Amino acid sequence: MMRRRSIAVVLLLLTASLISPGGRSAAASDVRGFVDAHSHLFSYEAFGGMLLCGKPFDPAGIAQALTDCPDHYPHGELAWFENFTRTGSPTGTHDPVGWPTFRDWPAHDSLTHQQAYYTWVERAWRGGLRIMVNDLVANRQLCAIYPLRKNSCDEMATLRLEAQRATELQDYIDAQYGGPGQGWFRIVRDPAEARRTVEAGKLAVVLGVETSEPFGCRQILGIPQCTRAQIDRGLDEMHALGVRSMFVCHKYDNALCGVRFDSGTQGAIVNLGNLLSTGSFWQARTCTGPEHDNPIDPGGVLPDQLAGLLPPGVSLPVYPPAPHCNTKGLTALGEYMVQGMIRRGMLVEVDHMSAKAAGRTLTLLEAAGYPGVISSHSWADPSYFDRIYALGGMITQYGHNAQDFVAEWRRTQPLRQAHQIPGYGYGLDVNGLGKLPGPRAGNSANPVTYPFTSFDGSVTLDRLRTGDRVWDVNTDGVANYGLVPDWIEDMRILAGPDIVRDLAAGAESYLRTWAAATARRAP
């Protein structure tokens, strides 16, 4: 039997003037619009600053912002990371010219080229986007592995730099709209400010953090490299920067928690990173319960450029039969960090946690009656969805292609209805080294037709054009962030107005979870 939200959460929602499962406060007003709970506008500064090519803006203009990496010229032969992540082979070529021709990039499956130039984000905002969680991202080990860099590999330094870039973009847009506070891109620090921003028709940008070793909390051969005092200082600094949502671990086991595995060849690469970061490969057992991590594919192989990083005589380990569960869960330091986030009213991201760690985290949140929990991009075990919704948390789906996104929306709809969750959202993970939605297969019979209107009828959208290039979602998929409204229109064609209605209630649902978390924050 599905559980409804607890009485305590209902009272908190009423106190915050939000809708409760039994009714609503007369003072409340719903907002309408989409929520992207997981994207990375400034990841071009991460991983040493030379892995991702192009910027979301440049004071000198688009011609300077949308250029390829120097090592990709003249024809992309040396862009082995781009080639490998796109085709599975380190060899390949592409036209490196961005502005104004954009012949080969951005593309939905090109992972090292800028996909979120600010005018593309602006088109998504005009098409209905009202809340975006911009995750500041860093990965010390990937930075150390990649041979080219101009920035420090220190994760905290990277997060500070990306937070600075977010403020610079806000100022840049403000200058075009009449001065400070006038632009459509607004970094917000609390749910009330976010609600006012959305009610004004602007984009509320929430800063989050997705990093592998927050506050230096790596572990080496099981020995933690941070203390409680470091965690407190780190949380205080991030909160002062405006960060309100945060992951406890990401990709590699750290001193706080074990991670949910990657599969296939990508999993082999990340597992190598785990070895270099922690001194050991992932440790897995065959799961005995319904919750599990992603399987570790025994067929995963390392590309030649990385295989040489294995110590002499060391090969990838052999694991027991699937389903696989990471033996590492939430550590004592991890529990301290989760409690610290509760005290500060921050949203706890459970994606990337091992099943064992996520289960323990949810137990802590349930004991505290704390609704501030998010699964933002389909990287948590679905067995936990009921517990997340029962707390008053939110789940947003990774930016899959239109057919798969619709299928998952339908599959999880009964669970949302049981908990009276008002809306749905997506975590596009733009510039996060993951593919954006591709073109829908077999769409010739029912394609997106241009022009079309936004969900609320306020904006008419024709094919996106930048420079000489014109994109069409039917053939290009979501080649860049500006095509998100077209992707949503594609899903409307597949599933009708109900999916758009649920997505348009996503911003309200996110605000409720955030407001309930800040109301329940520990003293």
pLDDT in tens, 473-519: 999 999 999 999 999 999 999 999 999 999 999 999 999 999 999 99
Write down the CATH number for the domain with range 34-243+330-520: 3.20.20.140
pTM equals 0.92
- Domain ranges, ordered by start, for the chain: 34-243+330-520, 259-327
Confirm if 352 and 249 have CB atoms less than 8 A apart: yes
Residues paired with 427 in a beta bridge:
398
- Only one residue has tokens 């028709």, namely 201
pLDDT at 3: 35
Residue 216's CB is within 10 A of a number of other CB atoms, namely 18
Q: Classify 216 as helix, strand or coil.
A: helix
Is residue 322 predicted with pLDDT exceeding 70? yes
- Report the length, in residues, of the chain: 523
pLDDT tens track for 111-145: 999 999 999 999 999 999 999 999 999 999 989 98
Is residue 12 predicted with pLDDT exceeding 60? no
123 Cβ neighbours under 8 A, 6+ residues apart: 461, 464, 481, 482, 485
Note the helical H segments in 111-258. 118-126, 140-145, 155-176, 191-199, 228-241
Proportion of the chain above pLDDT 70, given as a percent? 94
Q: Phi, psi at residue 432, to the nearest 5°? A: -105, 25
Long-range contacts of the stretch 75-79 (C-beta < 8 A, 24+): 76/104, 79/112
pLDDT tens track for 376-385: 999 999 999 9
pLDDT at 5: 37
pLDDT at 1: 36
Least confident of 36-40, 274-278, 461-465, 507-511: 274-278
